[in-house]
Chain A
Amino acid sequence: MTTPHNTREPLIEVIKPGWLTTIQDLGRPGYQQYGMPVAGAMDRFAAIVANRLVGNPDQAAVLECTGQGPELLFQQGTSLAVTGANISPTLNGRAIALWHGINIRQGDRLAFGPRRVGFRCYVAVTGGFDVPVILGSRSTHCPSRTGGLEGRPLRTGDHLFHRALDQAIDSLVGRRLPPRLIPTYDRSVTLRVVLDVRRHLFHESALTVLVNSTYTVAPQSDRTGYRLNGPLLARKETLSFISEGTVTGALQVPPDGQPILLMVDRQTTGGYPPIATVISVDLPLAAQLGPGDTVRFVACSIAEAQALLRTQSHLLNTALPPVPAIRSLSSP
């Protein structure tokens, strides 16, 4: 299970860890029946694009940086892509473009500045970050200290390793996501939701309130979920609710009526009924919200939600085709 790190040169030395920087891939599905949260990149679209820009398969491990980015010193050359939130990335003090493949030389320094738009940014390197695979994934789930670097965010002085490739890949310089596919992030967004069919659990007013109100992401929000401040969604209190499986994007309503938007580190089961669920294609926009940002909700059909996702996937695959799984020297 453990990779013999000491026999290889690190790729990166962490000079500053940033506010919350973790190693993530597309998550740890398959173990929810044992209560294991899925975790993974909050913004899957940005993580997938970052990987494709550096020649990685979609599930390679990337860094997820939150609000305030890290400072990283490269001890080897590689290629790199930064996607997602714009928190003013720089290479050796000079601004670099997001959604582009970039060549890195030994001694280069990647740093970040002020948060401009979005909240979570992704850094991919060719080969992907190498940490032990736990239950099929390299993702960090901090609450259970599982995966990533000892189940925790990066710290100053950490060394990050990457998975060496057994074949050279074509130069990636100049690779970029076509501008029309770059998502537009905003500090106030409208998210499309599928309404839950169990209307009888809520007062008639609750749905009207949900689609006619603006909610603010509360400070006590994290990768587990966002507490949303705004008008209350009234439950019919006479009905108790038996815990059931939860989904990412669900708007859970606790007895006090203040909704919680469940995100990727969510518990696998929950005892609050969902009133609606954010559609998959809009979850990346939700992932880019930080405390104080605002959100509105609009209803959408399941068929429409699935069609939107298929269209997005088709457009991305046409512009940046998926990379087949890499054969690597460092792991099977």
Chain B
Amino acid sequence: MPVSPKEEALFPRQLIPMGDSAVTVEFGDSIDPTVNALVIAYAKKLLEQGWSGIVDVVPTFRSVTVHFDPLQWDMASLTDQLRVLPCPRPSVTESNSTLHQIPVLYGGDYGPDLDEVAAYAGLEPSTVIRLHASVQYRVYMIGFSPGFPYLGLVPPQLAIPRLLTPRPRVPAGSVGIADRQTGIYPIATPGGWRLIGRTPLPLYHRTGSTPFMLKPGDRVQFRPIEQDEFEQLSRATTDEDHRSQQ
């Protein structure tokens, strides 16, 4: 959506040098949709400048980390520029962000912690599923592994701490809960989130034309599916993989 100049503003920000080739621009000290919207708008604005020597722009919950080539920028002049870069006033309604519907097979072998989450919350597993799938989540940031979305906020009844000892291997597609966040493991990695289901869709597709399904600021809603549909969607994904590798 185009933004007129009068809507741009200098939101208060703190600049934190990270060594000699990165600086973090911080907009707040909490996990909050308004702060995060500002973060994402600022990251987009910075990338649009096309400044040479800006290597990576990484929006997270409440800050943007800017990686730069230290042979092209000295820290002082870059921080000066970042401090005064006007930022579009972000829309908090998110009506223009992309909404993804992600099918999930809840429980059983694919969601080994569903019963424990239900017991912890004092709810039936079916209620946990209904609540988890009832919310449009915001992609606050992508991190941890290629394409891993940090989604929030989970309905308060479902908040549960991480496992004390992380699993050495969480299968790709697993959907987990940690406190009031939920996320999806795009590749098999170690992980400590409570696993309640699995999606057959690939969030990271190495050789695809769109390697990453989600970007910060997108919205996600989960759609409960049954075994049949899971297997059907898995086969479709596998076929597509074969085609793209030929």
Contact = CB atoms under 8 A, between A and B. Distances in A.
Contacts of B145: 35, 143-144, 267
A211 interface: no
B19 A247 contact: yes
Interface residues on A, range: 35 or more
Interface residues on B, range: 35 or more
Interface in B5-22: 16-22
A194 interface: yes
B146 to A, nearest CB: 5
Contacts of A103: none
A253 interface: no
Contacts of A121: none
Contacts of B74: 303, 306
Given A2-B245, A280-B70, A144 B19 contact: no
Interface string A211-228: 000000000000000000
A30 B56 contact: yes
Interface string B44-68: 0000000000011111111111010
Contact of A268 (B29, B30, B143, B211): B143
Nearest to B71: A313
A244 B29 CA distance: 11
Interface of B: 16-22, 24, 26, 29-31, 43, 55-65, 67, 70-71, 74-76, 141-148, 150, 186-187, 189, 204, 206-207, 211-212, 215-216, 245
Interface of A: 1-2, 29-38, 132, 134-135, 143-146, 151, 193-194, 196-198, 242-247, 249-250, 267-270, 274, 277-280, 302-303, 305-306, 309-310, 313
23 contacts: A33-B58, A33-B142, A34-B211, A34-B215, A35-B186, A144-B145, A144-B187, A144-B204, A146-B146, A198-B16, A242-B29, A242-B62, A244-B24, A244-B26, A245-B24, A245-B64, A247-B19, A270-B143, A306-B20, A306-B70, A309-B70, A310-B71, A313-B71
